[in-house]
Structure 1
Amino acid sequence: MLEAGGRVLPTNAEPRVRRAGGVSVSDAKAAENAAFPSSSRAERPATIYDVARVAGVSHQTVSRHLKGFAGIRPETRERVERALESLDYRPNMTARTLATNRSHRVGALTHEISQVGPSKIMQGASAAAREAGYLLDIVSLDVEDASAVQQALTLITQQDIAGLIAFSSTDVMTEAFVSRDFPMPTLIEVEDDDLVGGHPTSLNFRGFRAVVDHLVGLGHTRFFHIAGPPGWVSARNRELSYARALAEHGLTSLGTAHGDWSSASGFAAAEQISAALGVTAVVVSNDQMALGAMLSLKRRGIRVPDDVSVTGFDDIPEAAYFQPPLTTVRLDFDTQGRASFHRLLRLIEGPSASPPPPLTIELMVRESTSRPPT
C-alpha cells in the first residue's frame, strides 16, 4: 500500500500494537526474527529489498542484475548472487509483469508428451524458461489434426503470452503458422526439406552417417529403412539423411516402410521386409519403432543381431534395456528444448538474450548390431 508521499509499504506489514510494558507486537517479532532468521523468511517470500540488504547494495542494483543488465562489477554481481541463493529468492511474476508491462509466460505446442522425445524436450524448454524468469504454458495435441492445431492456436494466442513456440514440425503445424498473423514473437521448430535433410551439419545427417558408417564397417551392404510418418518434416529429413549416408558408400536402400513413431507401427513395418531381399541391416528412424521391429523379426525366427542388425535413433532411456540392447544415436533432448527456448527468447528480448547451446549427437554401440551372416 502507499503511505503519504508515495512511499511503498509492504502489503503484509503488521500494525504496531502496543502492549503493557511498552513493547509492540512488531518489536517482539523483530527480536524473534533476529534470533531465528530462517523462520522469518518462512513467513513471507524474500523481496529485492531483502536481497539488497544482505548483499549491501541498492535495490536498483539487484533489479538490474535480475534483468541481466551489463555494467555491474563482478564482485557486486557475486554478492548479489550469494544473497539471492541464501534467501531462496523467487521473483514475483505478477509484479514483474505489471512493472514491465510485458508478460513472462510463453506458449508451447507439442506432440503427445507421453512419448519420450517430446517429453524430454519440454523438460529442457521449461527449465530454460524458468531460468530466464518465464513460465512455459504447454499444450499437448495431435499435431497432424488440422482442426486441433487451429483450435489450440486460437485459444493460446488469446492468452497473455510473450511468445509462442511449436516443437513438432509437421506439414499441418507449418501450414497453420504460415497462414496466421501473430501478435507476439513466434517460432516453429521446422526443418527445411531440401537444406537440412542431408546437410552435413544437421543432426539427422550426422546421426545417420554415424549409423551407416558403423554398419558398413561391420561389413553390411544390404539395408532396409523403417521411416517415420511422411507428414512430419523431421521424418522426411531422417529418411533423406539415411539415403545420402548410404550414397556416400555407393549403396542404395533395398526398401523403405513407414510407421508413426510407435512400437506397434515398427512391428507392422518390419512385417514388410521380405526374406527374399536378403536384408542384413534394418535402420530405424526412432527407438520405439525399432523395439517393435525387433519383436516382429524375433517372431519370424530372425535373430538380432546374428541374422539381421537393427539400429534406432534417439536413445530413449529404455534403449539400453531392449533385448538385445539397442545400438542407436543419442540425441540430447534436454539441450534441444533449451536451445529452442533460447531462440524464442532472442526474438522476445533481442540479441542480448543468451545464445542457444550447441547440439550434439553420439552413436551408442550396443548388442543389436554385429557382422552380417556369412
Structure 2
Amino acid sequence: MRSEEAPLGRAPNEARRPSTIYDVATAAGVSHQTVSRFLKGYEGIRPETRARVVRALEALDYRPNLTARSLKSGRSHRIAAFTHEASEVGPSRIAEGASAAAREAGYVLDLVFVDMSSPRAIEESLALLSRQAFAGVLAVASSDTMLSALAEVDFGVPVQLETEAENQSSFSETAITALVEHLAALGHRRLLHMAGPPSWSAARGRQHAYETATARWGIEDSGVLHGDWSAGSGYRAIAELGELPSATGVVAANDQMALGAMLALKERGLRIPDDVSVVGVDDIPEAAYFDPPLTTVRNDFDGTGRMAVRRLIARIEHAEPPTQTPIGAQVVVRRSCATPPPIP
C-alpha cells in the first residue's frame, strides 16, 4: 500500500490522460469504492483516509466525467441553486459551500442569483429553471416573496428548500440570546435592536429571539429599527432618528448593518464602546477590522451550504440523509463592547 507521505502524481506518459477514480485510489492508497463513497458525500470515512483522498484528488486534478456518467445512468448530474443576489454575504457564502460539496460528490452546481425585491425576476428565473434538465434544485430562500413563488412551481425533481425558519431557527435563537446575555453580563439594561426586513424569516426569527432574551433578562427594550441587511440601511436607520434612544447597547441582526450603525453613532457624537456598545451576527471577514473591531457571533455558512447539498443528493440518490449537527453560537468578543456608562 502506498505510504501517506509518498508523493502524489502520475507518470510522465500519463500526463495527457484524464484521471480516473482508480488513479485517485492508487495515489491515495485506498480502494476505488472508498473514492466513490467520498465523491458521493458519504460521511463514514475516517479523517486520515479522507485527507489522503483529498490530496490525491487535488494532485491529480481529478474531474468527474459527468457527460459519461449521465449517458450511462440516464440522468443528469447538474444541480440548480437558486438564491439571493450575490451582494448578500450569507447567501453567497452558503452557495460557495454548496458548490464545493456538489463538486466533491460528482455534481455540477449551477448558481442562479436573483433580486429578491423583484417578483418578476423571481418568476422568470424559476420558469427558466423548470425548463432545464437538472437532477435537483437547491433553493436558499428567506424572503416571503421567494417562498411564495417557489410554492407555485413543480420542478419534477427533488427540491431542497433551505430557510432559516426551517433549518437555522436554532442559530437565530442561540446567537441573539448569547449576544444579549453577553451584554447583560457587562451590565447593560437598555438595548436597541437593528432588525432585518420584516419580509425575511431570518429577520423575524432574530427579532423574536431578541425580544425573548431581553424579557428573560429583565432588560428594557428601547425599540426596533429595520434595515435591509446592508451597511447603508444600518447607517440610515440611526442617522435619520430625530432623537437617539437612551440604549447603552445596539444588537444588530447582521454585521453589515452593525457597521453602518457604528458610523452613524460616531457621527452623532457617541463613542464606541464608551458611550454605546454594538454587536452583530455572522462574523464576516471584515468584522475584525471595523473601528472598533466588532463583537459578533460566528455563522458556519460553508457548513450550511455543504449540508444542504448533501441532503439534496441523498434525496436524488434515494440514500439515507446525512446527520445534521445542531448549529451552535460562538460569540467572538472584540472591542465594540464594554461596561455601560451610568444611566442618568
Provide the residue aligned with 2:162 in structure 1: 189
Classify the secondary structure of the residue corresponding to 1:154.
helix
Code of the aligned partner of 2:212: R
The answer on 1:241 being equivalent to 2:214 is no
Distance 1:192 1:90, change over 3 A: closer
Q: Which one-letter code corresponds to 1:368 in the other structure?
A: S
Q: Does 1:285 align with 2:253?
A: yes
Q: Does 1:137 align with 2:110?
A: yes
User: Which of 82, 85, 107 is 1:109 aligned to?
Assistant: 82
Normalization by structure 2: what TM-score? 0.85
Whether the aligned pair in 2 keeps the contact of 1:346 and 1:355 (CA below 8 Å) is: no
What letter corresponds to residue 166 of structure 1 in structure 2? A
CA 1:275–1:367: 2 relative to 1, 3 Å = farther
1:343–1:356 Cα contact (<8 Å) kept: no
In our comparison, the structure showing a higher alpha carbon Rg is 1
The answer as to whether partners of 2:196 and 2:226 remain within 8 angstroms in 1 is yes
Unaligned runs of 5+ in 1: 1-35
The 3-state SS of whatever aligns with 1:184 is coil
Residue in 2 aligned with 1:22? none
Identify if the C-alpha distance between structure 1 residues 114 and 42 changes in structure 2 by more than 3 Å, giving closer, same or farther.
Answer: farther
Answer yes or no: is the 8 Å Cα contact 2:38–2:104 preserved in 1. Answer: no
Q: Which residue of 2 aligns with 1:207?
A: 175
Matched residue pairs, number? 327
Distance (whole Å) between structure 2 residues aligned to residue 63 and residue 267 of structure 1: 50
Structure 2 CA distance for partners of 1:49 and 1:368, relative to 1, 3 Å: closer
- Looking at structure 2, the residues matched to 69 and 246 of structure 1 have their Cα atoms a distance apart, in angstroms, of 41
Partner of 2:68: 95
SS in 2 for 1:253: strand
Match of 1:219 among 187, 198, 213: 187
Alignment of 1:159-170 (within 5 A): 159-170=132-143
Moved more, 270-279 or 168-177: 270-279
Whether the 8 Å contact between 2:178 and 2:329 is mirrored in structure 1 is no
Tell me the secondary structure at the aligned position of residue 223 of structure 1. strand
Q: Quick check: 1:258 aligned with 2:231?
A: no
8 Å CA contact 2:191–2:248 kept in 1: the answer is yes
Q: For residues 63 and 326 of structure 1, what CA distance do their matches in structure 2 show?
A: 42
Higher normalized contact order (CA 8 Å, seq sep 6+, divided by chain length) = 2
Task: State whether residues 280 and 307 of structure 1, in contact with CA within 8 Å, keep that contact through their aligned partners in structure 2.
Answer: yes
Q: Aligned partner of 1:46: which letter?
A: S
- For residues 6-43 of structure 1, give each alpha carbon's deviation from its aligned partner in whole angstroms, at most 9, with x where no partner exists: xxxxxxxxxxxxxxxxxxxxxxxxxxxxxx96332221
1:350 CA displacement: 2.4
Q: Name the CA shift for 1:97/1:205 in 2 (closer, same or farther; >3 Å).
A: same
CA distance in 2, matches of 1:54, 1:205: 45
Q: Root-mean-square deviation (CA), in Å? A: 3.1
**Does residue 307 in structure 1 map to residue 275 in structure 2?**
yes
Counting only pairs closer than 5 Å after superposition, residues 1-374 of structure 1 correspond to structure 2 as 38-47=11-20, 85=57, 87-192=60-165, 202-271=170-239, 275=243, 277-352=245-320, 354-356=322-324, 358-374=326-342
* Residue pair 1:342, 1:356 contacting (<8 A) in 2 also: no
In the aligned structure 2, how far is the partner of 1:320 from the partner of 1:54? Answer: 40
- The two structures have a TM-score, normalised by structure 1, of 0.78
